Amino acid sequence: QAALFEATRALGNKRFNFTRKDYENGRIVIALVPIKQDIDALIEVVKKCPLLESTKKSHNVMKTKLKEQ
């Protein structure tokens, strides 16, 4: 949620935005229609966004088995 907020704040939001999470594979999808078309700026904003702890525990996260790489 924080990464999505920062991305829309940096690039503007023309239509919609949402996120989808895949905890098993460690993937997050950020979908938005930005006013400013700059993929490098989007990547930089998401990289700089801090990870925030949730006050409500997600059971999907708790069930995830982490893989060693």
Q: What is the pLDDT of residues 38-47, one digit of tens each?
A: 888 888 888 8
Contacts of 49 (CB under 8 A, 6+ apart): 2, 3, 6
The number of angstroms, rounded, from the C-alpha of 7 to the middle of its chain's C-alpha atoms is 9
Each residue's pLDDT tens digit, 60-69: 655 666 565 5
Amino acid at 35: I
Report pTM: 0.51
Report residue 55's pLDDT band, with 50, 70 and 90 as the boundaries.
very low
